[in-house]
Amino acid sequence: MSSPARADLRRLHLINALFSHVTGQDLYLAEQIKSAITFSLAEFESQTQEHPEFAARYDAAFNTAASKLLENSFADLPRHGFFHWDASHTLTAATPLFARAELMTGLKKLAPFRESTLLVTNLRPALLPADKRQTPRRKKEYADALSYTQELAAARTAPSANLNLLFL
């Protein structure tokens, strides 16, 4: 388990990377966005301080809030496509067959845009659950899912398009 200061710094860099189109890599602005998300999760954060075992759930809630905010920020850019795929919304979503179907839906939605972002969330927790051992087989499935997602996105995106593939 990481220290609170390290986790806070990790969240700051995550926000800076996700919202670079807004912050221009300015950490002060990234801190403002992070603070707004943290404020919206204030009650959950206080529970986490009382019960350190809630830290993983707080991180998941923070990531969900950040992805929703990112989706809303891209909605204001009419020339920029955005698709969010949550790999853990069903038990089978991260399996290759279902992942392909959902990713293809997203890539078809992004096809008309020259600039687009494909946000993939919860792939790691779906394939490497925190409450289970990280066996070599599970690690390989996760690595395969990462490379499969990257290869599928590269193969199904027009060469003239600029697709940002983000894993959260």
**Domain boundaries, given as residue ranges, for the chain:** 1-76, 78-168
> CA distances (Å), 125 to each of 86, 112, 119, 160, in order?
11, 31, 15, 33
Query: What is the per-residue pLDDT across 66-121, written as a single tens digit (0 to 9) for each?
Result: 888 877 777 777 788 889 888 887 767 777 778 889 999 999 999 999 988 898 88
Instruction: Determine the average pLDDT of the residues in 21-40.
Output: 81
Rg (CA), the chain: 17
Query: For residues 156 and 4, which has the higher predicted lDDT (pLDDT)?
Result: 156
Instruction: Determine the average pLDDT of the residues in 27-32.
Output: 84
Query: What is the per-residue pLDDT across 53-65, written as a single tens digit (0 to 9) for each?
Result: 666 677 777 878 8
Confidence of residue 26 (pLDDT cuts 50, 70, 90): confident
pTM: 0.72
As a whole number of angstroms, the distance between CA 141 and CA 95 comes to 9
Nearest CA to 70 out of 107, 115, 21, 126 is that of: 21
Task: List the end-to-end C-alpha distance of the chain, in Å, as a whole number.
Answer: 18
Nearest CA to 62 out of 150, 122, 123, 108 is that of: 122
Query: For residues 40 and 82, which has the higher predicted lDDT (pLDDT)?
Result: 82
As a whole number of angstroms, the distance between CA 63 and CA 4 comes to 16
Q: Are strands 162-167 and 80-86 parallel, antiparallel or unpaired?
A: unpaired
Least confident interval from 30-34, 50-54, 116-120, 159-163: 50-54
Q: What is the pLDDT of residue 2?
A: 58
Per the CB < 8 A criterion, the answer to whether 120 and 63 are in contact is no
Per the CB < 8 A criterion, the answer to whether 14 and 31 are in contact is no
Average pLDDT score over the chain: 83
